Chain A
Amino acid sequence: MSDLTSLTVAGALSKLKTREISPVDLVQAYAKKLEENQKYNAFVTLVVDDALAKAKDAELKYLNNTNRRLEGIPLGIKDLFCTKGIRTTACSHILDNFVPPYESTVTQNLLDDGALFLGKLNMDEFAMGGSNETSYFGPVVNPWSKDVPLVAGGSSGGSAAAVAAEMCAAATASDTGGSIREPSAFCGVTGIKPTYGRCSRYGIIAFASSLDQAGPICKDVTDCALILNSMAGYDPKDSTSSKRDVPDFSSFIGQDIKGLKVGVPLEYRPDGLNPEIASYWDNAAQILKDCGAEIVNISLPHTKYALPAYYVIAPAEASSNLARYDGVRYGLRVEGNNLDNLYINTRTEGFGTEVKRRILIGTYVLSAGYYDAYYLKAQKVRRLIKNDFDNAFQKCDVILTPTSPVEPFAIGDTKMLENPINMYLNDIFTVSVNLAGLPAMSLPIGLSHNGLPLGMQLIGRAFDEATIFKTAYHLERGANFVRM
């Protein structure tokens, strides 16, 4: 039975269609895995019984040939997506009793395509973190951990770990500065953050509105295309969602990349770059070259300003987005003897340290007298970074970089915890993409000498996920990474 959980979504769908397996079998297999792998703390809410009931309906649909494109596929949903009737907390104490009376557009799209939800996935509180250690429900344990428990990456640590440990067929995730890609790299799975505006943000608990974007974390590139096909699309309920047609991403899988220009940015190879990661990067370039692609050197000169700009803009928006958690209408309420104290008590108890830190930073950079020096300056940097990419894409079609400068580290790593900047530095290869609104994928390239997965990132032009899928498929084949 457990073999079923090793099936990719594509694999499962073909067996479901031939009735070789049934949706109920599939859910039961995952239910067993969920049981076995509780130690990873990947899920914070389970609704397996509900999934089983729906699997029976799905079974009927296969029998009478009314099955939809993801009929009976058991998914895990990042706890940032509001799911009607299922507790949704953003892994924050301030929302730990919140049950939304509405469904996010992305999860609704998946439901409409017949997908089943097994439960809600652990994450950094309000998606703020790079190691899943800021979750109110505790850190996710990387399934690749050996002696010491390692972080799964963040903020979508639960999504990446659950897919890696085969606790769900695929997962939704979100990415504000690398939250899909970094945990994907850390857990040896594949995740794509599509272009800003591809997926509706309606019903996704906001962290930084101009950067947040939903995407899937899956077992491979093909599955990412299948799941993203369902998640993406224009939504009138999100004014920033794009009206552009969503192509069938699956159709690009297997297309050749002869003559494709793959850019390698100079600035992503600082002197101190981990030599193992540098060498995998070279291997990746070679794989693509062997497939007929051309490797070109490109420059993204403002890269070094991306991280500081990101850590101004994202907290600024977050400080405002999180103002609604005041204890008045939903979620945690800690009484006070007047309105101000109700706010203070609720927010003091409800938010964790990292969230508070970012609210403080954000409030500070938007304050009168500091706005120009920080927020406005950061917006200018953002424009320059976007220009960098525009210029680079004159010379190449897709950009290849490592996903993270480090391999998964230990939970509670003192270096990371004593100075938040060290944690923020892990985002160095991912944040530029969010600032520029571009699509980017992380896929596993190999294992470090410690036997831990490392990821490569492919960055595409805006709304050109197609080229990423095309390229990634060849890289995936060349890397021949063996999942857990």
Chain B
Amino acid sequence: MSEYVIETEKGKWEIVCGLEIHCQIISKSKIFSGAPAEFGDEANENVSFVDAAMPGMLPTLNEECVHQAIKTGLGLNAVINKYSVFSRKNYFYADSPQGYQITQFEHPIVGEGKITVDLSDGSSKDIRIERLHIEQDAAKSIHDLNPTKSYIDFNRCGVGLMEIVTKPDFRSPEEVGAFLRKLRSILRYLGTCDGNMDEGSMRCDASISVRPLGSSELRQRAEVKNVNSVKFAMQAIDSEAHRQVEIYESGGTILQQTCRFDPTTGGTKFLRLKEFSDDYRYFPEPDLPPLILSDELINKIRDELVELPDAKKSRFVSQLGLTPYDAAVICENKEVADFFETAAHGRDAKKVANWLMGDFFAMLKKKNLEIAQSPVSAENLGKLVDLITHDVISGKIAKDVFEIMAETSENPEKIVEEKGLKQVTDTSAIEAIIDSVIASNPDNVASYRAGKVNLLGWFVGQVIKQSQGKANPALVNKLLKEKL
């Protein structure tokens, strides 16, 4: 377990934190209407009469959203509730045209589950999931187009959301970061949410309290909203925890409140007190019957589930011999894992992993590309590793070949052929170079022979340099030792 303790002159504190994560469901249409659930269109383009809460309009449940929620529940190792109920959460606001949100209250579609997170010290921890329920998203209020008016874009209104609630299991910002990355990874594997926190398709609210280290009490918590990246979530929790410790240590108390994370300062800002809990007057949605799921449907979705990151990771470790760390890095992103599997097929997986995580990732980062846009295909990366393995080129030449591949998307075999980069394994050719190097550096030869054996490296370098990098280093080493 990773230790995270806030230590002051007065004492030691630990944090207790739970998360609520709103995840937009990937679906063709909205959860209760036929309007497209698409983003980036003109404002108020994808709005049906139901979304606009016109008189007499009724919601109808989009089965695709239900399937996505079941899939996600299974991915969270959670109980799927065969009986769930939609409820109305009543509140007046311009982003809520019905005057209520259709959500699930007492009977969510998904019950308790867990996610295992890997931490930097090599340990792992289970974070328990309290529930997952499905609901409709609100419209988007836009306050910065006009000094006196607010605008509303109803495109988002009615898009399906999954709200995932964790137990208060987090004891460090690192755990929160690891959890969010893991959750995002699972959602993306499943294809149920694109997990883009900066675009708001995954939104995180954190409930944070602190307590003296070792205590089991639960103190008043503050809710921090608007954390739209993993980094910000970690920062927000850290700074809110410190703020609370300061208040306690100066004799103050924490009131139930909502704060907003300010990315410019990295701190949390007081938003409002929650003295009285909001009264949303929940009651069962009379326009929708209870949602009854059959075992058949749940099993069908379970059978069609893709291999999830944890399973993939352990397979990469046990079958391909990767280290758990490498496997975890590669499996975080499904596209990366798929790319890796293609590249490593029938090859030394560890070598492929090294190339992938080294030069390949560096190249993508430098070019600011997603893996799907990579100029180097998985097949070509695999071929490059083959060329090294079969001593056709040296590792050093391979780096040059890779650079050409990154520019031209060419097949490495073709590059090596055309540029004449094949490694020289002809003993006589190498011997000739060695002879000339020995002949032109008598001083160093003398020093070497006098016992300065670490000069061997220098000689190897000279020979390879004169061969324009093509001499096989192992062979050079062997022949040099003999000649010297």
Contact = CB atoms under 8 A, between A and B. Distances in A.
Interface stretch (A198-206, A264-272, A415-423): A198-206
Contacts of B283: 316-317, 320, 366, 371, 375
Contacts of B52: 329
Interface residues of A, number: 45
Interface stretch (A1-9, A165-173, A233-241, A301-309): A233-241
Nearest to B89: A320
A475 interface: no
Contacts of A424: none
Interface string A50-92: 0000000000000000000000000000000110000010100
Contacts of B7: none
Interface stretch (B90-98, B264-272, B365-373): B90-98
B395 interface: no
Nearest to B279: A368
Interface residues of B, number: 30
A101 B48 CA distance: 11
B287 A209 contact: yes
B58 A202 contact: yes
B59 interface: yes
A363 B281 contact: yes
A328 B97 contact: yes
A237 B60 contact: yes
Interface string A321-343: 01111101110000000011001
B56 A317 contact: no
A326 B55 contact: no
Interface in A191-221: 201-206, 208-210
B5 interface: no
Nearest to B60: A239
Given A326-B99, A363-B281, A367-B281, A240 B55 contact: no
Interface string B49-91: 1001111111111000000000000000000000000001010
Contacts of B90: 319-320, 323, 366
A288 B107 CA distance: 48
B88 A320 contact: yes
Q: Chain B: interface secondary structure?
A: loop
Nearest to A82: B56
B156 to A, nearest CB: 16
A348 to B, nearest CB: 14
B289 to A, nearest CB: 6
A239 B58 contact: yes
A100 B54 contact: yes
A324 B53 contact: yes
Contacts of A323: 90, 92, 98-100
A82 B55 contact: yes
Contacts of A206: 55-56, 287
Contacts of A329: 52-54, 97
A104 B281 CA distance: 29
Contacts of A100: 54-56
Contacts of B57: 202-203
A240 B281 CA distance: 22
B123 interface: no
Contacts of B49: 101-102
A339 B99 CA distance: 13
A90 B55 CA distance: 10
A323 B93 CA distance: 10
A324 B97 contact: yes
Contacts of A340: 92
Contacts of B442: none
Contact of B99 (A104, A201, A204, A320): A320
A102 to B, nearest CB: 6
A95 interface: yes
Give the most central of B55, B56, B60, B97: most A CB within 10 Å. B55
Contacts of A325: 55
A367 B279 contact: yes
A481 interface: no
A452 B55 CA distance: 36
B441 interface: no
B214 interface: no
Contact of B281 (A239, A328, A366): A366
Given A320-B100, A320-B281, A323-B98, A95 B287 contact: no
B147 interface: no
B286 A210 contact: yes
Interface in B236-288: 277, 279, 281-283, 286-288
B82 to A, nearest CB: 18
A98 interface: yes
A201 B90 CA distance: 21
B43 to A, nearest CB: 15
Nearest to B55: A205
Contacts of A210: 286
Contact of B59 (A239, A326, A330, A366): A239
A201 B58 CA distance: 8
Give the most central of B60, B90, B94, B281: most A CB within 10 Å. B281
Nearest to B277: A368
Interface string B281-311: 1110011110000000000000000000000
Nearest to B285: A209
A203 B289 contact: no
Interface string B122-151: 000000000000000000000000000010
Given A317-B283, A329-B54, A375-B283, 5 more contacts: A210-B286, A317-B286, A323-B90, A326-B92, A330-B55
28 contacts: A90-B55, A95-B55, A104-B56, A203-B57, A204-B56, A206-B55, A206-B56, A236-B60, A237-B58, A237-B60, A240-B288, A316-B283, A317-B286, A319-B281, A320-B281, A324-B53, A324-B55, A324-B98, A326-B92, A328-B94, A329-B52, A329-B54, A329-B97, A343-B92, A367-B281, A368-B277, A368-B279, A371-B281
